[in-house]
Structure 1
Amino acid sequence: MNWIMPKDWKIRYKKELDLSKKYEEEGNLKETWRYLERAHLIGQYYPIPHTGIHFRMLLFAIDQKDIKEIAGQLIRVLFGWLGSWLNKIPVGNTGGANVPIFQPMPIPEDLLDLLSEADQTSKSLSGLKKK
């Protein structure tokens, strides 16, 4: 079970969240969302950060009055933690309602070192590699 996020992951997760806040304050909503997605890529392996990032995405969707995103995030807030807890997540998935919930996606190049323990070989749900 993945309960405690490693320190270097926490630092990077917070950095991505800080950048999303910075861009939101500047009114750059596209970049705000991009950095929320990047935080999701990191946080989805751990139940609490995974739920937290979906909650932030939900608040952003509410602020934007985006009904499709609100509905998608409500589902993810309610059930996303379970996939993290079971280590069965769609590796690389950006977490928005614009992509299928169980769709694995490529991890961005600049996050590959940090997420090197992610099982990218699976074509379905996986998570962190078994040790």
Structure 2
Amino acid sequence: MTTLRQAFSAEMNAARDNWRQGRLDVAFAHLENAHVLGQRRLGWHFHVHLWMLRVGWAKRDRREILGQLWRLLLTPLGHLTGRLPIGNTGGANVNAFTPMPVRKELERVLRGEGMEGKSDKDLGD
């Protein structure tokens, strides 16, 4: 069974690997998964938004850059107030305050049931 830490690390490693290969959209999809998995831990949550900013910068996506700067400011406040929109994927394409449904594979990890058999193809590659 995959633990939350293992699943989060796997998503971040996949994001970095795809980043290095120039596959920025796939890297971002892994970061969205990492965001859902890690948003209840301040360090993980903040780290994901830094990486989302990095991808936005590489893509020269002004909306993503501004959205991630905003989210980096909001992240500590969200943790202090306990107002974290569960399931939110963290990108600038979604409202920062809107809860979203959690994908089944991620929900299994969050419930402690593991996350086996996921690949980049499942992320739209």
Query: Which TM-score tier does this pair reach, normalised by the shorter chain?
Result: 0.7 to 0.9
Task: Extract unaligned runs of 5+ from structure 1.
Answer: 1-6, 118-131
Whole-Å Cα distance in 2 between the matches of residues 13 and 78 of structure 1? 22
TM-score (normalised: structure 2): 0.81
Deviations 1:60-80 (A, max 9, x none): 111111111000000111111
User: Paired residue for 2:15?
Assistant: 20
- Which aligned runs of 4 or more in structure 1 are off by greater than 4 angstroms? none
User: What aligned pairs does 1:1-131 form with structure 2 within 5 A after superposition?
Assistant: 8-116=3-111
Asked if the contact 1:40–1:94 (Cα under 8 Å) also holds between the matched residues in 2, the reply is yes
C-alpha RMSD of matched pairs (Å): 1.7
**Contact 2:24 / 2:55 at 8 angstroms: preserved in 1?**
no
Which TM-score applies when normalising by structure 1? 0.78
* Structure of higher RCO (CA pairs closer than 8 Å, 6+ residues apart): 2
In structure 2, list runs of 5 or more residues that go unmatched: 113-125
Q: Deviations over 1:72-122 (max 9, x none)?
A: 0001111112213433211100000000011111111111122239xxxxx
Distance 2:37 2:29 in 1: 13
- Partner amino acid, structure 1, of 2:11: E
3-state secondary structure, aligned to 2:102:
coil
For each residue in 1:17-68, what CA deviation from the matched residue of structure 2 results, as whole angstroms up to 9, or x when unmatched?
1111222223322211100100000111111111111011111111111111
Task: From the superposition, tell whether residues 9 and 108 of structure 1 become closer, same or farther in structure 2 (CA, over 3 Å).
Answer: same
